[in-house]
A and B are shown apart, each in its own frame.
Chain A
């Protein structure tokens, strides 16, 4: 016969005001199997918990039911108390008499009767509870960081500083991300590459960081603490072990007229190239689409069309026959830091949800550029040596019109969110323009100014008051080429005046979007994403760097538009989560997961089909001589999330969810 203890909490007045707690305790005390039943003002307090401990020891209780608030609040508290008195914590349960009863009803008589029912429900259930113990999973204490921009770099450095090994995977030939393309950063106007490249070099030199540049994640298996990640190392056609970064190959490549991605199409590069001089690793890559030799091969030409780079390479590092290779790494945690791309105003979009800006020419008007292109113009290492020059004729513009909210906050174009950084970088652009062209005129069309960071608003005021940027509040209806200039039809809503400007250059602050290919990566990681491709955090307020997939963390602009300091902070936060995860050799998990009875399992694997987490494995059972008896389902204790779908599906009732078995549930339901 059970010896269950029932403890009804008044919760101050919260429960007692509506529910007659002492009557509930009395009534439940009369149930068969209940050896002890009391009520008390605050069960969660120290004296309250002492009551439980005392009763367990004195009355030799084998189960405890606390009728109080929601288990979300205090289940841990009471289980700890029970454990402290020597009772298995999973033999302690709560009946929610507050959120499910006193807080939602007014009639005292009926609420009290309901509270009795709720208590009886749990009492009958607990008679079938089994003692359970915590599950321990071994943890592979190495981390994978996907993305080598500022967020990925920061996460990798922080985890490495914490004493753990990191594999950093970056799809471009060099790490650095978009931050390496910027000229100066707000609000300090630090030179972007000057503050970034030391970090990049640190990554390369850190003995605990394994840098896999020009590589992509191919597949991900496993679960928290135990991921197996297959990584494709794309062929550079240059042997990394031999190349010393001298640059001769690039100097001698005959094809010098390829619009460079790093310069956003404003500058040229060669077919064998390093994206920028400070690249890490400083090893070139061959662009097959534009390399004469590879194009020849693609056409079936037998002779070698060109191999200038191989000829001049002193280390014989060029290898035209190099293939992609694959490596598999075992890691315990993954940080996703893939960053962003910019929205384009063109007619053709890569998503059905998006539209381009026909009213701004769909991107075909010369000298209408976006923010990243302006950064390249302003960069000392850029295609114009830091001079602001029009791409069309290389003349210096005297009037530049900046438009904020291009794509952003524009539901008609498919993006309703704000991209957060544009107000700040446009102010920065006006200041850079002013510094370089003293008599230049910068005009900004804006709807609002979002400058909430530290020193941010002051920065925008400087742009207006010191650099004399003219801020006009209104959107631009249309722009078109008018001879040598671009005619811009806007409005200043503050004065009510339509405004027409003939600009030498127009800079569009285009929306921040998730990287292309993010959906495929997210699916490999089982991480969810929103309709814009931004990865979903586990909880928007309280769990901003975790995802719903245990062991996968997220940092930077891949989760939502954000600036550099916030990305760095987020990256450090993920590192702390990872290091926390790695602080123990073994991971602790609650045992409320599924279990398959091997004796009765018939091996139909319906459970495997319905499990949303892929937690069911196949286990061959063999006899003493090694002959196969049957293959049964086995639940992976690290992956199972305890949803119970297998239990509901199993035809032979072999799959059971600990803590919520059929027996327990039926007992509870039958009690009503």
Chain B
């Protein structure tokens, strides 16, 4: 299966491990990721917070490039990029005024024919394969699936999964053999782009998320967004410093979890790049690896 690939700015640096693990997993699952040539930043919060037209024009440029490359859909692993691309696509279909402006800025000729998918959508199409290829038993891993605020909302723009009680990440996690926990902060915002400009807010919001995951019995939180990852991983030390909830909780990208279950090397998956050490998790599989066992089909 071929799908367009829009890594977005953070996957090349601060969230390198997301890119690394995703490419590795895609290779195993026979997903051909074709990068959109010469893509530019989606504009993220800074564009839509300051100029509506710019916030639609920038992602539309990327979609237009993808259309030229004959891609029928583009995967944007970063939930924020995904939401901006999907919003641009939606605006072009529903907001005549903005559509006209953007089309004239870009010189027209774009048919808005390219679909936009998130990593939740893409991998939930591959759960059967994941289940088949999963050879490292992750059973016993209690995983909190963190959607963040932009992966499935608003429902008209994303058009995938349920905007209040989603289950796509849980089905992917179950396919790996791990156990998704029922918890109540899966859609609550982590503080998004305020990591630098309002760090205190990020620490406050992150604490609520970590607390809830811990109360639900989770040992790891799985995310699908570099900002969420950074907020919960890079900033976790500040959250823990306030005290009140025990040990650090590793934060994994979805692709890393899937990668581990299908037996890929942790280094290749970038698990050494995290601020909150993932070693405790790896030790558990390390132990299981020495006694290989057949995984029961779910």
Which residues of A approach B to under 8 Å, CB–CB? 347, 357-359, 361-362, 480-483, 487
- CB contacts (< 8 Å) of A483 on chain B: these are 215
B162 an interface residue at 8 Å Cβ cutoff? Answer: yes
Are B184's CB and A358's CB within 8 A?
no
Q: Once bound together, how far apart are the Cα atoms of A140 and B165, in whole Å?
A: 57
Q: Once bound together, how far apart are the Cα atoms of A361 and B162, in whole Å?
A: 12
Are A487's CB and B184's CB within 8 A?
yes
B164 an interface residue at 8 Å Cβ cutoff? Answer: yes
- CB contacts (< 8 Å) of A359 on chain B: these are 164
Q: B184 touches which one: A347, A357, A362, A482 (CB < 8 A)?
A: A482
Residue of A nearest to B165 (CB): A358
Q: Which 4 A-B pairs have the closest CB atoms?
A: A358-B164, A480-B184, A359-B164, A358-B165
Q: Once bound together, how far apart are the Cα atoms of A600 and B163, in whole Å?
A: 67
- CB contacts (< 8 Å) of A481 on chain B: these are 184
With contacts defined as CB atoms under 8 Å apart, how many contacts are there between chain A and chain B in the complex? 16
Considering only residues 236-255 of chain B, those with a C-beta below 8 Å from chain A are none
Identify 8 residue pairs between A and B in the complex whose beta-carbon atoms are under 8 Å apart, listed by A's number: A347-B162, A347-B165, A357-B164, A358-B164, A361-B165, A362-B165, A482-B184, A483-B215
Considering only residues 131-158 of chain B, those with a C-beta below 8 Å from chain A are none
Q: B163 touches which one: A358, A480, A482 (CB < 8 A)?
A: A358
- CB contacts (< 8 Å) of B162 on chain A: these are 347, 358
Q: Once bound together, how far apart are the Cα atoms of A362 and B162, in whole Å?
A: 11
- Besides the contacts A359-B164, A482-B184, what 5 more A-B pairs have beta carbons closer than 8 Å? A347-B162, A358-B162, A358-B163, A361-B165, A481-B184
- CB contacts (< 8 Å) of A482 on chain B: these are 184
Q: Once bound together, how far apart are the Cα atoms of A482 and B211, in whole Å?
A: 12
Question: Contact flags (1/0) for B158-193 with A, using CB distance below 8 Å?
Answer: 000011110000000000000000001000000000
- CB contacts (< 8 Å) of B164 on chain A: these are 357-359, 362
Residue of A nearest to B166 (CB): A358
Q: Once bound together, how far apart are the Cα atoms of A531 and B41, in whole Å?
A: 46
Q: Once bound together, how far apart are the Cα atoms of A483 and B217, in whole Å?
A: 12
Q: How far in angstroms is the closest Cβ of chain A from B79? A: 19
- CB contacts (< 8 Å) of A358 on chain B: these are 162-165
- CB contacts (< 8 Å) of A347 on chain B: these are 162, 165
- CB contacts (< 8 Å) of B163 on chain A: these are 358
Q: How far in angstroms is the closest Cβ of chain A from B185? A: 9
- CB contacts (< 8 Å) of A357 on chain B: these are 164
Q: Once bound together, how far apart are the Cα atoms of A357 and B164, in whole Å?
A: 8
Residue of B nearest to A478 (CB): B164
Q: Once bound together, how far apart are the Cα atoms of A69 and B215, in whole Å?
A: 79
Residue of A nearest to B185 (CB): A480
Q: How far in angstroms is the closest Cβ of chain B from A183? A: 32
Q: Once bound together, how far apart are the Cα atoms of A598 and B194, in whole Å?
A: 86
Residue of A nearest to B188 (CB): A478
Question: Contact flags (1/0) for B203-245 with A, using CB distance below 8 Å?
Answer: 0000000000001000000000000000000000000000000
Q: How far in angstroms is the closest Cβ of chain A from B188? A: 9
Q: Once bound together, how far apart are the Cα atoms of A357 and B162, in whole Å?
A: 11
Q: How far in angstroms is the closest Cβ of chain B from A267? A: 28
Q: How far in angstroms is the closest Cβ of chain A from B262? A: 32
Q: How far in angstroms is the closest Cβ of chain B from A508? A: 15
- CB contacts (< 8 Å) of A480 on chain B: these are 184
Question: Contact flags (1/0) for B103-128 with A, using CB distance below 8 Å?
Answer: 00000000000000000000000000
Q: Once bound together, how far apart are the Cα atoms of A358 and B152, in whole Å?
A: 13
Residue of B nearest to A483 (CB): B215
- CB contacts (< 8 Å) of B165 on chain A: these are 347, 358, 361-362
Residue of B nearest to A355 (CB): B155
Q: Once bound together, how far apart are the Cα atoms of A357 and B165, in whole Å?
A: 10
Considering only residues 25-53 of chain B, those with a C-beta below 8 Å from chain A are none
Q: How far in angstroms is the closest Cβ of chain B from A548? A: 37
- CB contacts (< 8 Å) of B215 on chain A: these are 483
Q: How far in angstroms is the closest Cβ of chain A from B84? A: 24
Q: How far in angstroms is the closest Cβ of chain A from B118? A: 18
Q: Once bound together, how far apart are the Cα atoms of A274 and B123, in whole Å?
A: 52
Q: Once bound together, how far apart are the Cα atoms of A347 and B165, in whole Å?
A: 10
Q: How far in angstroms is the closest Cβ of chain A from B157? A: 15
- CB contacts (< 8 Å) of A487 on chain B: these are 184
Q: Once bound together, how far apart are the Cα atoms of A483 and B162, in whole Å?
A: 24
Q: How far in angstroms is the closest Cβ of chain B from A475? A: 15
- CB contacts (< 8 Å) of A361 on chain B: these are 165
Q: Once bound together, how far apart are the Cα atoms of A362 and B167, in whole Å?
A: 14
Residue of B nearest to A481 (CB): B184
Residue of A nearest to B163 (CB): A358
* A362, A480, A483 pick with most chain B CB within 10 angstroms: A480
